[in-house]
Amino acid sequence: MPRYLTMVRVDENDAPDGGPSEELMQRMGALIEEMTKAGVLLDTAGLTPTAQGKRVHYAKGEISVTDGPFTESKEVVGGYAIIQAKDEAEVLEWTKRFLRVHGEEWNVTSEIREIAEG
């Protein structure tokens, strides 16, 4: 079965104050448990804010490192999941459920990419 990487994109400047609520975390935990029991969720995690990150760029033989936050970025990857599904339609349904868990106070986008095998 193919594996897919879903990257959860958020606008750090538009996220609710205080981050995810306890209720959101409970709903997220229940969905993660369901996905794990269904055998489709291989890995998932949230990421720290860009203020705690670094970007490493390579161009013309030179390496440069930029400390976060990355103000030029409107949306950043805030988390990810690796899902093993029978097809793209199945991973799309799981992703829609994941986004709905967030509630109306969040603006969240998820990019789905199949992981290239061999």
CATH number given to 3-114:
3.30.70.1060
Task: Give burial (CB, 10 Å; 0-12/13-18/19+) of 85.
Answer: buried
Domains of the chain, by residue range, sit at 3-114
Per-residue confidence (pLDDT) for residue 23, from 0 to 100: 93
Tell me the per-residue pLDDT of 3-32, one tens digit each, with 9 for 90 and over: 999 999 988 888 888 888 899 999 999 999
Per-residue confidence (pLDDT) for residue 31, from 0 to 100: 97
Per-residue confidence (pLDDT) for residue 96, from 0 to 100: 97
This prediction has a pTM of 0.86
How far is the CA of 24 from the CAs of 11, 17, 19, in angstroms? 17, 13, 10
Tell me the per-residue pLDDT of 83-106, one tens digit each, with 9 for 90 and over: 999 999 999 999 999 999 998 888
Largest Cα separation within the chain, whole Å, is 48
Residue 30 CA, distance from chain mean position: 17
